[in-house]
Amino acid sequence: MKKLLIVDDEPNIVMSLEYAFQKQGFHVFIARDGGEALQLMEREIPDLIILDIMMPEVDGYQTIKIIKENPAFAKAKIIFLSAKSKASDIEKGLSLGADLYFTKPFSVKKLITAAENLVLS
């Protein structure tokens, strides 16, 4: 069973993602911001992280940097999911080491397909 960590401060979006990915057989963890996520990852290293960028306290950019610095987290794939949709934002996100970048609003089905492909490969 693949482990998925959703990091987002929008409860409604988190609720939709949790429902959809659980239905696909993911074991879903939830963090409200980067700080919570890193705490969580000390116990469980997820196969996939869906990471929002704009969050209170520790944001998505800071979070990914810390994850990438730690070799223990190397196996975790990362998908950015953000409302920041400019080309420069996407470029920046990918250059920081994310595997995929999804912009909000997004298609749940496409996100799931992409996520499954990522963890299976």
Q: Give the interface with other proteins as residue ranges (CB under 8 A).
A: 9-10, 12-13, 15-17, 19-20, 53-56, 59-61, 83-86, 103-109
DSSP H stretches of helix in 10-120: 11-23, 34-43, 60-69, 87-95, 108-120
CA-wise closest residue to 8 among 22, 39, 29, 27: 29
Rounded to whole angstroms, how far apart are CA atoms 4 and 48? 5
The least distance separating other proteins from the CB of residue 43, rounded to whole angstroms, comes to 26
Nearer to other proteins, 41 or 50 (CB): 50
The least distance separating other proteins from the CB of residue 105, rounded to whole angstroms, comes to 4
The least distance separating other proteins from the CB of residue 91, rounded to whole angstroms, comes to 15
